[in-house]
C-alpha cells in the first residue's frame, strides 16, 4: 500500500487529497496514477467503489493549466448521477489549484448548462447524449482537450451509448490521452479501445481486492408473494442505518416505497421517470440520513457514492451477474463492513449460481425471519435501551413517579408495559405488490454473461418482467434528449434495449 506522497503528485493536489481524508492509495490508484501522469493511454479494469474517480482525477487535474480557460479534459459517464458525483469529486481535488469542473447531463435545462459553460470551466463531466448535443451546438469546443476519460464503459455499452461514444471520440483532437475504466471488458469495449486508444497500458484490480470482500452476502429462498413481509422483518431485525433496496422496474420501486411508508418506514424511491430535480432532492435527503431507505432501479442508482450505507437488499434479482456486483458495491465502502441480502425465487436459483461463479464466493442461505423472531428482537432491543438508561442514571428525576406507580401496579406489569412502548410493535398493514415474473434462464460462459460482443444480451435484459425495466432505461435516456437535445436517430439500435 502506497501513500499519495510517493506518486509524484504536486503540492496543491496533495493538500486537497489530505483535506478529503485520503492518505493511502487503493490498488487501482497506486497502479493507474503513475501511468496516467506519464501521459500514456490506460485501461483500468476495476469495480465500482475502488477509488476510480481519484485514479483518473489526480492526473487529469495535475495536467491542467488553470490560467487557460478552455476545456482541457472531459469525463464521459453513463448516468446523470455519476456525472454529478464525478464533478463534485474533481472540484474537491482541483480546489486548491483553481480547476473548475461542470457536470453536463440530460434532464436539465440546456440554457442553464450553456451559462455554466460560459464561465469557462477547465473540466467537464458529462453523459454521452447531452455532450454530443453540446459538441454539435459548438457550446463545447474540443480543440484544447488533453484528456478524455470513459468511466464505466461497460455500463455505457449496456445502455446503448456505444455509437455516441464513438462519435464523440472521433471529434477529439488527434493528440490527446484516453483513460478507459470498466468493470468488465466485453468484445465491443475491446474494439473501441483498439480503434481510439494508442497502445494503452492495462491495469487490473484482482478480484480479491474488490469491494465484495467487505460485504457479508446472504440470500433468502422466497416465493414472490412472501418478499415484502420478509423484507420488513429483515429491516426490523437488522435495523440498518442506511439501506438501498433494488427493484427491477419503476412500478416495483413505486409500490415498494408506498408499502414501506404504509408500514411506518422512512423510505423514498428513484427511477428514470422521476424528474431530475426531485431525484437530486431524494438522494440528498438519503445522504443526509433524513431518509433511512432508498428504493431504486439499476439505472437510477448507477454511480451513487454514498457513505454509511450498511445494507443492500436485492428485492429482485438482476439479470446480469455484473449488475449484482455493482448493486452490492453501494455498501462496504472504504473498507467498512456491509451486508447484502438477495431475494431468490425457486425458479431463479440458476442465476444465483452464476453470480456465485462471478464473485468466486458462495452466498450464504439465510432462514427468513418470522414475526416471532422480529418481536423477540424488538423486545431485546427495548430491554437493552432500558438497561442503558438505568446505568446512565437518566431516570433519577423520575424515581418518585416510579415509586408511586409501583405502589399501585404490579412491578412486572409495569416493566412489561415499558418494554411494549419501547419495542414499537411492527405494523402489519396489508401490502400487495404487483407480481414480477422470475428471471428466465440465459446461456452463460465461464460463469459470466455471454453477451456476444456486448450486444447479444440487450434485448433480453431483465427477462420477463424486466422488459419494464428496459423501458425505464429508455425513458432515462430519452430524458437526455429533451431541452434541445439533438441526438442522432438511433431508435432502431435502441429498440430492444
| Tens-place pLDDT, residues 14-40 | 999 988 878 788 889 999 999 999 999
Q: What is the pLDDT of residue 212?
A: 65
| Among 137-146, 153-162, 275-284, 450-459, the range of highest mean pLDDT | 137-146
Q: Report yes or no: 290 and 306 within 8 Å, Cβ to Cβ.
A: no
Backbone angles phi, psi at 205, to 5 degrees: -95, 120
Q: Report yes or no: 165 and 5 within 8 Å, Cβ to Cβ.
A: no
Confidence of residue 81 (pLDDT cuts 50, 70, 90): confident
Q: What is the pLDDT of residue 440?
A: 61
Angstrom distance (rounded) from CA 197 to CA 335: 33
Q: What is the pLDDT of residue 386?
A: 92
Backbone angles phi, psi at 298, to 5 degrees: -60, -45
Confidence of residue 485 (pLDDT cuts 50, 70, 90): very low
| Among 156-160, 400-404, 443-447, the range of highest mean pLDDT | 400-404
Q: For the residues 265-291, what does the mean pLDDT come to?
A: 89
Q: Report yes or no: 55 and 204 within 8 Å, Cβ to Cβ.
A: no
Angstrom distance (rounded) from CA 311 to CA 235: 9
Over the stretch 236-266, which tens digit does the pLDDT of each residue have? 999 899 999 999 888 999 999 999 999 999 9
Higher pLDDT, 272 or 162: 162
Cell of 343: 431475494
Angstrom distance (rounded) from CA 328 to CA 304: 11
Taking 90 as the threshold, does the pLDDT of residue 99 lie above it?
Answer: yes
Lowest mean pLDDT among 20-29, 173-182, 187-196: 20-29
Taking 60 as the threshold, does the pLDDT of residue 488 lie above it?
Answer: no
What is each CA distance from 307 to 46, 83, 152, in whole angstroms?
19, 18, 20
Over the stretch 369-388, which tens digit does the pLDDT of each residue have? 888 888 888 888 889 889 99
The mean predicted confidence, pLDDT, of the chain is: 83
Exposure class string for 81-90: b at 16+ Cβ within 10 A, else e: bbbbbbbebb
Q: For the residues 132-160, what does the mean pLDDT come to?
A: 93
Angstrom distance (rounded) from CA 106 to CA 129: 7
Angstrom distance (rounded) from CA 51 to CA 234: 31
| Among 109-123, 361-375, 479-493, the range of highest mean pLDDT | 109-123
Q: What is the pLDDT of residue 337?
A: 86
Angstrom distance (rounded) from CA 155 to CA 182: 8
Angstrom distance (rounded) from CA 28 to CA 34: 11
User: Of all residues in the chain, what percent carry a pLDDT higher than 70?
Assistant: 84
Confidence of residue 48 (pLDDT cuts 50, 70, 90): low
Domains of the chain: 4-207 (3.40.50.300), 211-365 (3.40.50.300), 371-423 (no CATH)
Closest CA to 429 of 263, 267, 307: 263
Amino acid at each position: 500500500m502506497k501513500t499519495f506522497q510517493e506518486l509524484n503528485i504536486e503540492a496543491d493536489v496533495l493538500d486537497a487529497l489530505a483535506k478529503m481524508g485520503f492518505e493511502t492509495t487503493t490498488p487501482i490508484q497506486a497502479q493507474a496514477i503513475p501511468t496516467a501522469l506519464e501521459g500514456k493511454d490506460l485501461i483500468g479494469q476495476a469495480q465500482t467503489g475502488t477509488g476510480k474517480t481519484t485514479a483518473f482525477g489526480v492526473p487529469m487535474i495535475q495536467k491542467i493549466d488553470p490560467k487557460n480557460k478552455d476545456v482541457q479534459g472531459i469525463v464521459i459517464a453513463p448516468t446523470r448521477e455519476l456525472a454529478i458525483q464525478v464533478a463534485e469529486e474533481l472540484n474537491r481535488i482541483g480546489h486548491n489549484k483553481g480547476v473548475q469542473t461542470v457536470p453536463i447531463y440530460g434532464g436539465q435545462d440546456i440554457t442553464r448548462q450553456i451559462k455554466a459553460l460560459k464561465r469557462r470551466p477547465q473540466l467537464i463531466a458529462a453523459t454521452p447524449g447531452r455532450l454530443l448535443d453540446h459538441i454539435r451546438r459548438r457550446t463545447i469546443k474540443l480543440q484544447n482537450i488533453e484528456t478524455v476519460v470513459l468511466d464505466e464503459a461497460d455500463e455505457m455499452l449496456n445502455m446503448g451509448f456505444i455509437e455516441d461514444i464513438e462519435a464523440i471520440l472521433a471529434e477529439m483532437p488527434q493528440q490527446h490521452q484516453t483513460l478507459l475504466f470498466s468493470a468488465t471488458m466485453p468484445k465491443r469495449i475491446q474494439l473501441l479501445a483498439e480503434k481510439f486508444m494508442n497502445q494503452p497500458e492495462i491495469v487490473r484490480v484482482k478480484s480479491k481486492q474488490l469491494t465484495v470482500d467487505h460485504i457479508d452476502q446472504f440470500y433468502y429462498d422466497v416465493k414472490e408473494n412472501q418478499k415484502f413481509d420478509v423484507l420488513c422483518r429483515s429491516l426490523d431485525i437488522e435495523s440498518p442505518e442506511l439501506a438501498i433496496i433494488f427493484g427491477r422496474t419503476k412500478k416495483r420501486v413505486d409500490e415498494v416505497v408506498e408499502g414501506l411508508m404504509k408500514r411506518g418506514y422512512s423510505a423514498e424511491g428513484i427511477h428514470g421517470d422521476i424528474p431530475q430535480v426531485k431525484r437530486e432532492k431524494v438522494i440528498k435527503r438519503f445522504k443526509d440520513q433524513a431518509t433511512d431507505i432508498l428504493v431504486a432501479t439499476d439505472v437510477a442508482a448507477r454511480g451513487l457514492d454514498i457513505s454509511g450505507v450498511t445494507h443492500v437488499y436485492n428485492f429482485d434479482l438482476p439479470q446480469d451477474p455484473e449488475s449484482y456486483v455493482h448493486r452490492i458495491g453501494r455498501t462496504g465502502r472504504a473498507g467498512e463492513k456491509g451486508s447484502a441480502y438477495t431475494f431468490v425465487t425457486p425458479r431463479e436459483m440458476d442465476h444465483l449460481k452464476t453470480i456465485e461463479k462471478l464473485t468466486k464466493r458462495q452466498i450464504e442461505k439465510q432462514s427468513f425471519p418470522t414475526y416471532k423472531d422480529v418481536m423477540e428482537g424488538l423486545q431485546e432491543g427495548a430491554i437493552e435501551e432500558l438497561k442503558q438508561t438505568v446505568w446512565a442514571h437518566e431516570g433519577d428525576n423520575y424515581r418518585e413517579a416510579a415509586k408511586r406507580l409501583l405502589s399501585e401496579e404490579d412491578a412486572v406489569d409495569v416493566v412489561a408495559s415499558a418494554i411494549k412502548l419501547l419495542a414499537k410493535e411492527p405494523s402489519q398493514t396489508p401490502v400487495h405488490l404487483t407480481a414480477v415474473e422470475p428471471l428466465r434462464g440465459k446461456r452463460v460462459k465461464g460463469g459470466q454473461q455471454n453477451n456476444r460482443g456486448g450486444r447479444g444480451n440487450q434485448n433480453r435484459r431483465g427477462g420477463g418482467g424486466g422488459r419494464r425495466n428496459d423501458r425505464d432505461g429508455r425513458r432515462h435516456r430519452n430524458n437526455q434528449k429533451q431541452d434541445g437535445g439533438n441526438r442522432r436517430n438511433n431508435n432502431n439500435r435502441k429498440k430492444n434495449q
